[in-house]
Amino acid sequence: MKTSRIVVAIVAAGTFAAAGTALTATGSPVLSDDHADLIPGILPDDQPSTPTAPPTPAPGGLQAGPSQAPACTGVTITPGQDATQIIDDAPNGTTFCFAAGLHRISQTIRPKPDQVLASDQGAVLTGSVRLTKWSASNGDWVTTGALPPAYRQTGQCEDNVANICYLREQVFLDGKHLTRVAARDKVVPGTFYADYPANAVYLGDDPAGRSVEMSKTDTAIQSSANGVTVRGLTIEHFATPPQGGAIQLGLGWKVYANDIRWNHAVGAMLVNADSAVLEKNLIHHNGQLGIGQYSTLNGTISGNEVSYNNTDGFWIADWESGGIKTTWSNGGWVTGNLIKANRGVGLWSDAYDDGRTFNANQIIDNAADGIRYEIGRNGTIADNTITGNGLGTGRGSGTSLWDGGGINVNTSSNVQVRDNVVANNVNGISIQSRTRGSGPWGLNLLRDIVVSGNQVTMKGGTTATGMVQNSGAVIPTGEVTLKANTYILDSLTADRFQKTGQWYSATEWRQTGQDAGSTFTIRSLVR
């Protein structure tokens, strides 16, 4: 992993260059083709003081999904067979090859130790059932008898009035995910309403001659067995409960080259999955979250494309929705993933993660923070490219540093934020100290945060970098260090920095003693 630092020019403190000039070490002006405004330690961004390669990003076109699965040799399972029973009857270590086609899974598959569930033919495991018996009903169409009994609400929804995101059964019309509405009188084309007390499903589209399916089985693959491998499968339409995964990895599992999509809650969950590997999967359009991890030692989440998750309306700003979330885990890596266009946080560590490394990910256009590191310790956030995040939050959020940024470190300790490219997010880097109670390590405090070697672009709105605190969580002097960063700004006089309630321009920020050795620059629109 590259850990280069930015070397800045040495200039006399308090000396300023006119627009369109740079300063030499002696303070003499040198004309610049960039026509930038500059302040001490500042060079035009196209003339770095020491040429270096950018941080290594995750590749934009990942090689992921079933096309990456190797050939399968083993016990063949064909559509129409009871895959769950066949796997249950076989001994440890058996390899199963799912043939091409649609495999309806009516009960969770529970593999044994060292078994392999695979396909090299594009097999699809679905948790849905077909709905075929429809009747016209006052402008809608209705079928009965398919729903489970009503169940209690869990999770938090973006729409906290209707509060329907937790309902698990999704409906698909000719493969298209329909939007759930909260009452029958809201049903229009493209939507459905599920009346659990009456055990009735209403559609706003005429189903005649069309395929209508409803997710039914809650989980595709889950067991306590060690060493299971799952590869080359498409896993879709499972009615997973909030925080539940369509596939749940266990100890030493390897899950790679799958397409995990259109499940109600989480695509893939690592739970007590020490040393498990989740790699080269396409994980997209799941109802709540792409990937979750809980209570896992040295798990690896690598080379996945995690995109367009939270289709079913969980709270965007602050309830476990979006791309990837990990909790109560030690060590391990989230590395080389493309995390894109999720309706929530891109990559989130929350609640007592220890020693986690987030590196070389490409995190783009997620609705909330790009990376959030919350109530954890000993974390490393390095060499990521984080652009366009935090601009799609709604309920309970805004644009201040309290609401987050490209990178948000919240009430954590010993966290290194280094060598990231952070550009055009709702904020740059937000350091938050909040009153968060106590946990297994004692009082939760913000301590020993070092932000260095990052390139941060902030060019509009209220975008800022800095730190905020509430009255019960004052940040002691020296516990947050920003140094050797590069800032690309819209103006050197606009307030783009903040420290515990006080706003600063770039010039003023340097005078506070922050960002020693850092570079601040703007580009002219005209060359």
Specify the CATH number for 218-521; select among 2.160.20, 1.10.287, 1.10.260, 3.40.1000: 2.160.20
d(CA 204, CA 190): 6
Q: pTM of the predicted model, to two decimals? A: 0.89
DSSP assignments along 299-368, one per residue: -EEES-EEES--TT-B-TTTSS-EEEEEES-BS-EEES-EEES-SSEEEEEESS-BS-EEES-EEES-SS
pLDDT of residue 461: 87
Q: Let me know: does 289 contact 309? Beta carbons within 8 Å.
A: yes
d(CA 428, CA 493): 17
| Residue of 216, 343, 327, 360 lying closest to 290 (CA atoms) | 343
* Residue 502 backbone phi and psi in degrees, to 5: -105, 130
The β-bridge relationship of strands 212-215 and 128-130 is antiparallel
What does DSSP assign to residue 14? T
What does DSSP assign to residue 474? P
d(CA 35, CA 44): 8
- Walk along the chain (527 residues) in steps of 10 and give the mean pLDDT of each run: 30 27 26 33 32 36 92 98 98 98 98 98 97 96 97 96 97 98 98 98 98 98 98 98 98 98 98 98 98 98 98 97 98 98 98 98 98 98 98 94 96 98 98 97 97 96 95 95 97 94 93 94 60
SS3 of residue 294 by DSSP: strand
Give 70: exposed, middle or buried? Use CB within 10 Å, 0-12, 13-18, 19+.
exposed
Q: What share of the chain is helix, strand, coil (3-state, %, to 5)?
A: 5, 40, 60
Token pair for residue 333? Answer: 């890596």
Q: What is the pLDDT of residues 244-284, one digit of tens each?
A: 999 999 999 999 999 999 999 999 999 999 999 999 999 99
pLDDT of residue 61: 64
Domain(s) labelled CATH 2.160.20 in the chain stretch across 218-521
Instruction: Identify the residue whose tokens are 């009903």.
Output: 137
pLDDT of residue 276: 98
d(CA 274, CA 226): 10
The strands making up 322-327's β-sheet, listed across from edge to edge, are 245-249, 266-271, 289-294, 322-327, 345-350, 371-374, 407-410, 429-433, 465-469, 495-499, 502-505
